[in-house]
Structure 1
């Protein structure tokens, strides 16, 4: 079989493995049509935090936090709330802060938080507040973009964009765990704030979402100190508001809201802190009781069910893209750089069918630009890359592993004498800085191609790294390491797969990435 066909076959098998593993998260017993009739939470077993989901016609759209990853502000689409595909990144390149270019320590745990996605009068809108900047409103008539941007005159924490039935635009905002909810009134083209007033208070509230149903406005707020979600309702946006507790992390999650279905039903979406994998999004049926939304079912109210009837039956079992042969003219939407990349140091055209990474100048992994990432999936997933390392130069440090709280990787280097070597380090990001544990150093390696594997097991919260010369015989290197999520250190995200290449000095070396395969089993 020709090499290109071998590569495509390998990626196809990885995709089949992914779909086979994804099915338990999205399907239960099959009905007469052999389509799933039930699903299991979470539909996406990965870190997709701060969800906002809307419906436009027969499609649902899901916006999520992306922090300093670039391109930023990811949107996925679905026809049934269960099976999602990447559709766009709203922000091609982060701006407004040199730290987005990994200068001055970088912007890990900063960047883009909690976008608010809405659709009004034929146009998609996203309101978002990059950390330390004023709120932006992006707009496009196509979900794929391109997106125009307006910048407001103030910072609205976790903005909740809302369009009333008369077309008036508003943003509800509450942040810093203060609990004061402020309503900003926008002008006719939604480019300026014309009024700001306090409309409600609930201790500790943030993460607002605002919708309207019938004669009531509904305001959803997270209470992070309690990992809880509350809902308030009022006949007028100015109040008075009544507030009721909804759910919390012991019953399903603490930040989210609800979305309507084409048949008039409702479903809830809610984020839950889920251990080392980070924050995942659960789905729940919603029923109404005296004009209050209730999570769950009448038989089991007040909690997100582990399994439930599919919201919309009979839709195809598509999944977000993962594996890649790098044959296209652009990177797939599953990929993001750790910060804004140096575009002169990577290429998909210099060697067609490969992604070429040239070393960026950095003293260590944590501060190196052009680290290419995608999400780690649970309960267990395994990423493999095939690298051509023949053009490495002395001092180049290039390889594959994880990016997160614990940054474990196998690096391929070339010594001053010209010999290739392997090393394995675990770098923990702490409040005091990075702690590096050298697990293996200067292991000789004689081949020009290498297969590297990173395994993430979120049931044990452990990872493991291994390498192979041929993709068949694998050797573990360095032993198991921790997987962890931490909002105070690391990246504020669950562990990501990461391919990297850096050198403390300017280098004309490079690696060529032949393919990336993601499997779940």
Structure 2
């Protein structure tokens, strides 16, 4: 990543805004258009993000958008975030004011570099796309990332919206661990990447078993590694490095764990107790020697969740800002790892992120602050969908690469069709592996081995309600299909078609225990799910008006490096049968957070 100072001109988005940054919008009411065929729903505010009064509340993106990297080009800010085994991979978002973000697309249309991510394996849980680096270099976009199981790679595009190239492998996984940070030095025409190699090179001086971070020189086109790398920093869990050159001085930001006696878990000794944000500074060379300073620690605003790993941005007024994630720590976050925005002040050539509340020279993250830039409308990543497009919205991602012959937006225009596939075998080559990376819930359910589960992130942690309308007329015997909430665990509400052709409502818990409900005689089914923090419920309806609770109150949870998600499933329990489909008419999602103004058909 680098800070680009080119300016592209003012977006017309401000002209189309339904409100300005000084106006509270939550009290605005829906307005019917002149034709009364549609209703304009004004932008909304909530418990996080843009507050409509010139301030914002962290996390500004209170959803599973982890491992961010920011590239600033002119007056637009672009962000990538990791998404492990989800496909397409590496979401891309954009913003005009650092607070309001919207979907752009994904850097990896498919996780195409290894067979474990394909629909007929589904063996890549927790791997896939990890923390990456987004770069705009000589008119071309680059995304670098390290798949722990496969190595360092780069994909390129002329346009941020794609198409993106097939990834080029640059270093094998035997030499690297994670988190590349790239810098193109236009003063010297040299390019570099810093990488956490873990202990894969293990210098004799490394007595603490800390992560070793190496800087490699790259070709100027950003696709080749030119040397064996030089070790610049070793630290406990030190990773997520980003390189900056500011007024001739080299800076490297780094996230690093500290160890101690404190833990919120009884009986745990010498745990990781904070993942602090460090910065390295050298006035001599990119290779050092470096001074090291801690510039942000977790503070008190976000409980036990550490604050680190992100990137710097600048505003038109010259102010500096830092985007970072909240780490999981002992408090497992059911919504995933969200993004915070912090002000930055410079003191004696060192940045302080957030506010230094206790006067020790180290910043702590702030909860609420003025926005960096005024005048842009409230917006948010997409959620609602009526499936009227022939392309799937960027909010949706598949559990592993989809089986493309088994879903469609064109076979029945205006509907999403999900065809059932048979469940993959339950063995070591299919489904989640049980190891330190997968956070497995102990379940070997068919759900984890059923292709073409489609979902999007939950938003916020207070309350939310999602509704979907299904047509179940295309189901076949032994098919199960319907609505799912899942992250570390899953809970389903759907329809099962029996051998005799009868259809029955069912609820399934995380251990595959099934509760059967009433027989369904019609074709329309509405499913509604609501949550209050990490407790959720399901309801069903036949007319979209009268809803009936079904199943218990269940707990949603983080796992497989994924927060809770909302979506649809369809599989066939018969081992030699792919028969049946379910159609989804629309999906709506209301939550306690920002949402852009929108038009709803009456």
Question: Residues 241-261 of structure 1: CA distance to partner in whole angstroms, max 9, x if unpaired?
Answer: 111112233456122232222
Q: Decide whether the 8 Å contact of 2:389 with 2:414 is kept in 1.
A: yes
Summarize deviations over 1:6-51 as a string: whole Å, max 9, x none: xxx9xx88x948x42x4542334xxxxxx63211111112111001
2:278 is matched with 230
**2:421 and 2:502 mapped to 1: Cα distance?**
21
Change (3 A) 1:446 1:249: farther
For 1:80 and 1:409, the matched residues in 2 are separated by: 38
Residue of structure 1 aligned with 2:551, choices 478, 488, 498: 478
> How many pairs were matched up?
490
Distance in 1 of aligned mates of 2:135 and 2:41:
34
Aligned counterpart, 2:113: 96
The answer to whether residue 180 in structure 2 is matched with residue 159 in structure 1 is yes
Q: Matched residue of 2:334: which SS?
A: helix
1:108 aligned to 2:125?
Answer: yes
Q: Which has more helix, going by share of residues?
A: 1
Kindly indicate whether the alpha-carbon contact (under 8 Å) linking 1:389 and 1:512 is maintained by their aligned counterparts in 2.
Answer: yes
Question: For the residues of structure 1 that align with 2:569 and 2:122, how far apart are their CA atoms?
Answer: 18
Aligned residue among 48, 53, 77 for 1:25: 48
Query: Following the alignment from structure 1 to structure 2, what is the Cα–Cα distance between the partners of residues 109 and 93?
Result: 16
1:366 and 2:448 are equivalent in the alignment: yes
1:512 aligns with 2:579: no
Cα shift readout 1:389-423 (whole Å, capped 9, x = no counterpart): 01211100001021211200112011122211011
1:96 offset after TM fit, Å? 2.3
8 Å CA contact retained: 2:120, 2:451? no
Structure 1 residues 409 and 16, CA, compared in 2 at 3 Å: closer, same or farther? farther
Cα distance, 1:455–1:299 mapped onto 2, change above 3 Å: same
Q: Is the Cα–Cα contact under 8 Å of residues 357 and 363 in structure 2 kept in the other structure?
A: no
Q: Which residue of 2 aligns with 1:497?
A: 566
Match of 1:436, SS?
Answer: coil
- 1:237 counterpart SS class: coil
Quick check: 1:134 aligned with 2:155?
A: no
Normalization by structure 2: what TM-score? 0.78
- Alignment match, 2:539: 466
Unaligned regions of 5+ residues in structure 1, if any? Answer: 1-8, 29-34, 428-434
CA distance in 2, matches of 1:45, 1:447: 38
**Alignment check: 8 A CA contact 1:36 1:310 kept:** no
Q: Trace 1:171-250 onto structure 2 (pairs within 5 A).
A: 171-176=193-198, 178-195=210-227, 196-224=229-257, 225=272, 226-235=274-283, 236-250=285-299
> Aligned with 1:277: secondary structure?
coil
Q: Deviations over 1:162-198 (max 9, x none)?
A: 1113332111011448321100100232221112111
Q: How far does the alpha carbon of each residue in 1:92-134 deviate from its partner, in whole angstroms, 9 at most, with x for none?
A: 1112222101444521111100011122222221111123112
Provide the residue aligned with 1:431 in structure 2. none
Deviates more, 1:114-123 or 1:304-313: 114-123
Candidates 96, 118, 121, aligned match of 2:135: 118
**Other structure's SS at 1:470 match:** coil
Please say if 1:295 is aligned against 2:353: yes
Q: CA deviation at 1:273?
A: 3.0
RMSD: 2.2
Superposition map of 1:284-363 within 5 A: 284-297=342-355, 302-362=363-423
Residue 175 of structure 1 contacts residue 207 of structure 1 at CA under 8 Å; is this kept in 2? no
Q: Does the aligned pair in 2 maintain the 1:64–1:74 contact within 8 Å?
A: yes
SS in 1 for 2:324: strand
Give the distance between the partners of 1:353 and 1:105, measured in 2 at CA. 29
Quote the offset at 1:509 in angstroms.
1.6
* CA distance in 2 between partners of 1:282 and 1:247 (Å): 13
**Structure 1 residue corresponding to 2:164, chosen from 142, 147, 166:** 147
Whole-Å Cα distance in 1 between the matches of residues 532 and 250 of structure 2? 43
Counterpart of 2:458 (choices 360, 370, 376) is 376
**8 Å contact kept, 2:486–2:556:** no
1:425 match: 508
2:298 touches 2:365 (CA, 8 Å); kept in 1? no
The reply to whether residue 253 of structure 1 matches residue 285 of structure 2 is: no
Q: Secondary structure at the match of 2:485?
A: strand
**Secondary structure of 1:366 counterpart:** helix
Picking from 509, 518, 525, the partner of 1:450 is 525
Q: Distance in 2 between matches of 1:409 and 1:323?
A: 20
2:59 to 33, 37, 42: 42
